[in-house]
């Protein structure tokens, strides 16, 4: 244990404590707004907003963008966008209190940071794609879905972690 | 060292937490089920009751029928015998005592059509309206005055006297035209014989699941 | 009673302020639980750190038990909550793609945002990747359309699809989760420790 503390200099919360608070937060969110948390929604909004500013006609003609474009208000004027701003702020506060702030690339000592960044990009693209197909990411679909016992939420959760374990073997060099 | 008893308890902390979880989850199973009040809240019911949408006048209804508006269904809540004798065209008979049966549910509990209830006056129809609202059905309306008003206004409209306003005479001409549509022959008055055959056509109404929340998700 | 904002108990103007506050708490909890570290997150797949599974399952359990109790006591109407819609193959295929993305990138969107906030460059690249991924999806919407909006089962819950009482389900789910917690602790002790910072 002592060795671990020496090496892993960041002390995090007990996972059960974090989970408990997260659960309370989900209850509070549902109690207030009637729906769960989300993270990719805001990213989707920003993509739509960017495409819309670059080429309005293109965004209008695409059946996916046009769903989110509203003439009266900006796409970014959205509950999830504000929530995401909150996430950034909250994480920054927590990180600065614990002294974890700093520009760096975190990777296993066995791989270069360039390799890490390439795989992060691939992972990001896949996650972006998948989250749109499944209509939600781990927080929006799986976590909030599970809180209300949504069938889709459970399927998404099982699918993410099931595939994760299947694919883990091929990516092991990046992590261990 | 400082507090051995506390340390001893704390070494079991995960087991204690697990037990708390199990007790809480088990509590949900064990808790006595109580009947939640299904349907509408009293405030909302009151709001519906005083709403102007509650009643439809005979003139409006005649207009709807003549224009063959497809957005409503007529439901006769009187007994079957009276329904067989006379009823409004294309109406469906659901006697008050069968209001809660499976068959009538598909007509009443849907979002597609306006449901217009009627009886001889609007007394029974009002009671049916109340029950339907209690069950949180949507778009239920009552024909004001019922069939009696229907006869007095549409089938056999009262001729306005000379000194009445233009509106009254316009109304009269509308009603007269409507009554002709429903098969009253003029000028021989008081021969209120509806020619329109009553065909209780069964409309196929797809059931929709009620979902109040906007479809807007997390991610 | 609740949910408060859809039922107009709290006015809609407040919703953005509440959104920021909820996001603040969400970000704080994720970061403080260690979700801003991709190596910690990926540990769940290699058996050296199960913090994801622990936090995730605990949160799901606490929230579902809490919501059911609040529903029982009449503070919250379970039926008026937003239920994530079920698109069977969309959920499976999307989840599978996300699973590969998770192992490859080491983040999920919420945690990557936390990591961006504390200055992880890999997380910024990851978020950029998500934006590209969403862009690709939107451009190829006609290709994905059959999966995206096919096999629709409505906003169903497990209560509808399994025909099981929610209370029993939660009870079984709790037992499974506790067994999972015990098992992962055993696995973690067997595996060699991985150090990272």
User: What is the pLDDT averaged over residues C80-94?
Assistant: 86
In DSSP notation, B69-130 reads: -TTEEEEE-S-HHHHHH---TTEEE--GGGTTSHHHHHHHS-SSSEEEEE-SSSHHHHHHHH
Strand partners for C152: C87
Please report which confidence band the pLDDT of residue A76 belongs to, taking 50, 70 and 90 as the band edges: confident
Q: Are the beta carbons of B87 and B93 closer than 8 angstroms? A: yes
| C65, C165, C181 ranked by CB distance to B25: nearest | C65
Q: Which of residues 7-66 of B touch C (CB under 8 A)?
A: 14, 18, 21-22, 24-26, 28-29, 31, 36
Q: How many domains in chain A?
A: 2
**Residue A23 and residue A70 share a domain:** yes
Best residue of C2, C6, C12, C28 to probe chain A, by most A CBs closer than 10 Å:
C28
pLDDT in tens, C114-170: 899 988 888 899 999 999 999 998 888 888 888 888 778 878 888 888 888 888 888
CB contacts of C68 in chain B (<8 Å) are 28
Task: Quote the DSSP letter at residue C81.
Answer: S
Strands B140-143 and B91-93: unpaired
Between B136 and B208, the higher pLDDT residue: B136
Tally helices (H) and strands (E) across chain C: 9, 0
CATH of domain B53-205: 3.40.250.10
In DSSP notation, C23-60 reads: HHHHHHHHHHTTTT-HHHHHHHHHTS--HHHHHHHHHH
- Asked if pLDDT for residue A116 goes beyond 50, the answer is yes
Please report which confidence band the pLDDT of residue B192 belongs to, taking 50, 70 and 90 as the band edges: very low
Give me the residue spans of the domains in chain B: 1-51, 53-205
Tally helices (H) and strands (E) across chain B: 9, 5
Among chain A residues, the shortest Cα distance to B215 is held by: A35
Give me the residue spans of the domains in chain C: 47-82+157-197
Q: What is the pLDDT of residue C2?
A: 64
Contact at CB, C98 and A163, closer than 8 angstroms: yes
Q: For chain B, give the mean pLDDT.
A: 74
- Asked if pLDDT for residue A123 goes beyond 60, the answer is yes
CB contacts of A24 in chain B (<8 Å) are none
- Asked if pLDDT for residue A43 goes beyond 50, the answer is yes
ipTM: 0.90
* Integer Cα distance of C41 and C64 in angstroms: 23
CB pairs under 8 A between A and B: 37
User: What is the pLDDT averaged over residues B50-76?
Assistant: 82
Please provide the size of chain C in residues.
197
**Residue A70 and residue A15 share a domain:** yes
**Residue A65 and residue A113 share a domain:** no
To the nearest whole angstrom, how far is the Cα of C120 from the nearest Cα of chain B?
23
CB pairs under 8 A between B and C: 53
* Integer Cα distance of B106 and B116 in angstroms: 14
| Lowest-pLDDT range of A82-91, B14-23, B83-92 | B83-92
Domain range holding A21? 1-102
Q: Are the beta carbons of C59 and A153 closer than 8 angstroms? A: no
CA B122, B124, B130: angle at the middle one, nearest 5?
95
Q: Are the beta carbons of A139 and A38 closer than 8 angstroms? A: yes
Q: What is the pLDDT of residue B206?
A: 52
**Residue A54 and residue A3 share a domain:** yes
Question: What subunits touch chain A, counting only 3 or more CB pairs under 8 A?
Answer: B, C
Q: Under DSSP, is residue B178 helix (H, G, I), strand (E, B) or coil?
A: helix
CB contacts of B213 in chain C (<8 Å) are 6, 80-82
pTM above 0.80, yes or no: no
CB contacts of B218 in chain A (<8 Å) are 35-38, 41, 80, 136, 139-141, 144-145
User: What is the pLDDT averaged over residues B86-114?
Assistant: 78
Among chain B residues, the shortest Cα distance to A79 is held by: B218
């Amino acid at each position: 244990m002592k060795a671990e503390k020496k090496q892993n200099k960041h002390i995090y919360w007990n996972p059960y404590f974090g989970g408990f608070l997260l659960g309370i937060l989900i209850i509070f969110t549902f109690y207030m707004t009637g729906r769960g948390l989300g993270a990719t929604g805001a990213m989707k909004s920003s993509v739509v907003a960017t495409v819309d500013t670059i080429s309005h006609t293109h965004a209008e003609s695409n059946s996916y963008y046009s769903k989110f474009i509203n003439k009266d208000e900006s796409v970014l004027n959205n509950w999830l966008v504000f929530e995401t701003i909150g996430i950034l702020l909250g994480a920054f506060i927590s990180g600065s209190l614990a002294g974890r702030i700093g520009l760096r690339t975190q990777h296993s000592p066995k791989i270069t940071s360039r390799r890490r960044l390439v795989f992060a990009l691939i992972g990001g693209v896949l996650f972006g794609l998948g989250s749109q197909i499944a209509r939600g990411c781990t927080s929006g679909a799986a976590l909030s879905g599970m809180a209300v016992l949504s069938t889709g939420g459970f399927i998404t959760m099982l699918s993410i972690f099931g595939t994760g374990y299947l694919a883990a073997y091929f990516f092991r060099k990046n992590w261990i | 060292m400082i507090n051995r008893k506390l340390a001893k308890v704390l070494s079991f902390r995960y087991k204690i937490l697990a037990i708390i979880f199990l007790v809480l989850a088990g509590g949900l199973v064990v808790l006595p089920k109580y009947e939640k009040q299904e349907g509408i809240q009293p405030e909302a019911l009151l709001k519906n009751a005083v709403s102007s949408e509650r009643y439809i006048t005979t003139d409006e209804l005649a207009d709807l029928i003549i224009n063959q508006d497809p957005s409503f269904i007529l439901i006769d809540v009187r007994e079957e015998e009276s329904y067989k004798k006379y009823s409004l065209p294309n109406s469906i008979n659901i006697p008050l005592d069968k209001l809660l049966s499976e068959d009538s549910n598909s007509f009443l509990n849907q979002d597609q059509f306006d449901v217009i209830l009627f009886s001889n006056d609007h007394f029974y129809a009002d009671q049916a309206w109340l029950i339907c609202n209690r069950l949180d059905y949507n778009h239920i309306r009552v024909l004001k005055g019922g069939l009696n008003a229907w006869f007095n206004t549409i089938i056999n409209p009262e001729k306005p006297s000379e000194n009445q306003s233009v509106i009254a005479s316009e109304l009269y001409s509308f009603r007269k035209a409507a009554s002709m549509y429903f098969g009253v022959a003029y000028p021989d008055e008081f021969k209120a014989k509806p020619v329109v055959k009553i065909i209780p056509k069964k409309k196929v109404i797809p059931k929709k699941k009620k979902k109040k929340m906007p479809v807007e998700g997390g991610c | 009673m609740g949910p408060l904002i859809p039922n107009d108990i709290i006015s809609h103007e407040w919703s953005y302020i509440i959104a920021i506050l909820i996001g603040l708490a969400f970000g704080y909890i994720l970061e403080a639980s260690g979700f801003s570290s991709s190596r910690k997150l990926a540990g769940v797949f290699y058996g050296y750190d199960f913090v994801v599974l622990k936090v995730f399952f605990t949160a799901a359990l606490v929230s579902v038990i809490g919501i059911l109790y609040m529903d029982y006591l009449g503070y919250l109407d379970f039926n008026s909550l937003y239920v994530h819609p079920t698109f069977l193959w969309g959920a499976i295929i999307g989840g599978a793609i996300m699973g590969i993305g998770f192992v490859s990138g080491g983040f999920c969107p919420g945690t990557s945002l936390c990591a961006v906030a504390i200055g992880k460059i890999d997380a910024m690249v990851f978020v950029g990747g998500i934006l590209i991924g969403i862009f690709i999806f939107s451009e190829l919407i006609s290709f994905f359309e059959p999966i995206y909006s096919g096999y629709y089962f409505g906003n169903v819950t497990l209560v509808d699809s399994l025909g099981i009482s929610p209370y029993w389900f939660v009870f079984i789910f709790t037992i499974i989760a506790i067994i999972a917690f015990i098992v992962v602790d055993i696995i973690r002790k067997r595996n060699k420790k991985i150090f990272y910072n």
